[in-house]
Structure 1
């Protein structure tokens, strides 16, 4: 019996050492992954805003041409960009205020669903004005948004296409 106790004690010590080694290995892996995550590219606020600017422009020409499918696509691209701003840029003051766009986006989305050109135009103006209001409240008043007067790309046709039956 006296010989069993030292053997069990030795096994317990070896197990503790192995567990400590595994814990240290796991901690090193966690540290490495945290470093990689911190270094992973994440779009800046400006990249998101530039994307929204393009979609805002394209949305205008889609609506003006009553291309409701394209307008629906473009407004949802704007909504997706806003969701991504809130996800990836949540520490920014601007991100905290971006929900002020929701009523204007909802109104515009409704106009698109109704395929109502008059409501589209008034809702688009409201969205544009709300963008500028947000810019003023976040000290970015020098970024003035306006209703586009020409498409952002010369290689896109904004006219409504014949639908497949």
Structure 2
């Protein structure tokens, strides 16, 4: 009876394999699990390989995630640095505009001082020429008349003659 049981077992296995082929699935993984104890080290090697692959995949995703975080942080720092630089530039430009305005005011005052100085110099030159003309006229009159001029003590009181 043993041979008939083995034959029944073989036919059942063939029927199951036929059903699996019709369904489009294979039992390669199941057959490796159902094999003798000698095949168990291969199973452990496969599991170790799968575990190693999972670990490497986790490491890779962790690394990518950390790189993305680092890039985001670097971008934030770069943005804040650019923002600070723009604020500093704007503050300095405003200060420079104020300095330029003050400089323009001072230059206008300097131009006013120079203009009034030139006007006063021109007035002094004119009064000097006028004084020289008066002296020349007096000298010509003295030469013509032969009398020496009366001495004036104070020129501001020219109407008062103290020599009389």
- Same fold, judged at TM 0.5 (above): no
Greater relative contact order: 1 or 2 (C-alpha under 8 angstroms, separation 6 or more)? 1
Larger proportion of helix = 2
TM-score normalised by structure 1 residue count: 0.32
Which one has the largest radius of gyration? 2
TM-score normalised by structure 2 residue count: 0.32
